[in-house]
Amino acid sequence: MTRIDATFARLRAEGRKAFVSYIMGGDPDQATSLAVMKGLPAAGVDIIELGMPFTDPMADGPTIQLAGQRALEAGMTMDRVLDMVRDFRAGDATTPIVLMGYYNPIYSRGVDRFLAEATEAGIDGLIVVDLPPEEDDELCIPAQKAGINFIRLATPTTDDRRLPKVLQNTSGFVYYVSITGITGAAAAQATDVGPEVARIKAKTDLPVIVGFGITTPEAARAIASVADGCVVGSAIVKDIGAGKPVAEVLANVAALAKGAHSA
């Protein structure tokens, strides 16, 4: 059982929904990013998604694109992302960490090397948005063999014919993208999301977590009420990009988490 599996088992036992947060590794610099990361569990975050900065983030809107640019300009590398995880793990052995990003930095590093280092650092899952199920032999299958969950995205355009392929080798949880388009582009609506989550849950026993377009505690509560939890990314990254103090960033995260947990 991975940390992700254990977290969902605990939340189910407690009758609570999951609150997942996303931050970009190294935004606006490694020290600030690590301080935010270390404060997330106490703010109510159940699972941390840590972005791997990349020069061509095609699925991301301006907020997260700019976060990646800030991180890269501050000298962030894959080595430093993994160092952040190691530093976090020195004080927290239980909160799951999911690396999220694109395949190019992993491919250029070498899959075997990357998976060995990710496992050693304490990574629990991967979300790689530009690797479709047809490419599972590239990274998904090796990651699962290494004990790392491979989390797949389902979207409003994932029809009933495509869904079984998407779910085929997914583990940990299913990430349902609530809107069509890039991150931070529109507001998610529970009335639209609920039937889609039910459709996915009819085909899998995995938890379904909803992300994209969730920016307020009220939205977090509404979306979590029709799913197993929600993901907030752009709203947190926007606070970081605005230069808000770490304490203020974490206070806003705590409000969002409270919304999700009250669902």
Q: Which residues are catalytic?
A: 49, 60
Listed in sequence order, the residues at least 6 apart from 47 whose beta carbon sits closer than 8 Å to its beta carbon are 4, 7, 18, 19, 20, 21, 95, 96, 97, 98
Helix (H, G, I), strand (E, B) or coil at 98: strand
Q: Which residue has the tokens 């929600």?
A: 230
CA–CA dist 142, 162 (Å, integer): 23
The pair of structure tokens assigned to 261 is 């947990």
Listed in sequence order, the residues at least 6 apart from 157 whose beta carbon sits closer than 8 Å to its beta carbon are 180
**DSSP secondary structure letters along 128-139:** ETT--GGGTTTT
For helices 234-241 and 246-261, angle between their N-to-C axes, nearest 10 degrees: 170
CA distances in angstroms from 106 to 65, 66, 77, 155, 195, listed in the order given = 19, 21, 11, 24, 35
